[in-house]
Amino acid sequence: MGTSGALPSDARSYILWHEGSIQFFVDEVPWPLRQIFDVDEEDSVPTWYSTSALLLTSVLLFFISRRKQADRDPWVKYWYGLSLAFAALSLDEIAGFHGTLNSMIDYSWAIPGGIVGATFGLLYLRFLWHLPMQTRLLFAISGCVFAGGAVGVEISTDWYDDEGLLNTLAYNLWTAVEEGMEMGASCSSFTLSSDTLV
């Protein structure tokens, strides 16, 4: 065995063939198929999933609100507020209001969005504290994960757009992280709302 660290010719040939096969496969994926599963596109299956999860969570929260109202729960307004907030997030996800806002201001929409989200969180601290500990923690984690993806990752990747680097592996990986955080948080919120309703 040699000590130069070079790969045998058959190993190098296999790696080159393997890389070529992957590249060929990726290049051969039809454009419409890539488009409809692109997490960075508004008109796509991931957007439909996120919109549906947020809307269903809003509906569940509305039913919880009605039940709390019938029970004369003092926190009923907060439950209705949550339902309305998730409905607004669902509408924004499909209609892309944040994108429209981005075209109207000279900085990222995530900055005013982060301010609104932080204000909403502060207003809900007392409501969150009255919930059972497990529900409280899971709601808080879901909210932080969603905000971290929608606002945190969005702000941290703005420079890719400024530098014209949107069509790069790094940007696409960060986009997958952002959308994955939002989808995971939406799914978690739906599950928590289902458990609360039951």
| pLDDT above 80 for 59 | yes
Stated pTM of the model = 0.78
Handedness of CA 110, 112, 117, 121 (dihedral sign): positive
In the chain, the percentage of residues whose pLDDT exceeds 90 is 52
**Maximum Cα–Cα distance for the chain, whole Å?**
80
Give which of 58, 49, 104 is closest to 79, Cα–Cα. 58
Check if the beta carbon of residue 150 is closer than 8 Å to that of residue 113: yes
Predicted pLDDT of residue 28: 61
Residues in CB range of 9: below 8 A, 6 or more apart? none
- Does 125 or 39 have the greater pLDDT score? 125
| pLDDT above 80 for 91 | yes
Rounded mean pLDDT of the chain? 84
Between the alpha carbon of residue 163 and those of residues 102, 154, 166, the distances in Å are 17, 15, 8
* pLDDT tens digits, one per residue of 70-80: 999 999 999 99
- Does 83 or 31 have the greater pLDDT score? 83
* pLDDT tens digits, one per residue of 7-57: 444 444 444 444 444 444 455 667 777 778 877 777 788 889 999 999 999
Between the alpha carbon of residue 102 and those of residues 97, 116, 163, the distances in Å are 9, 15, 17
Three-state SS for 142? helix
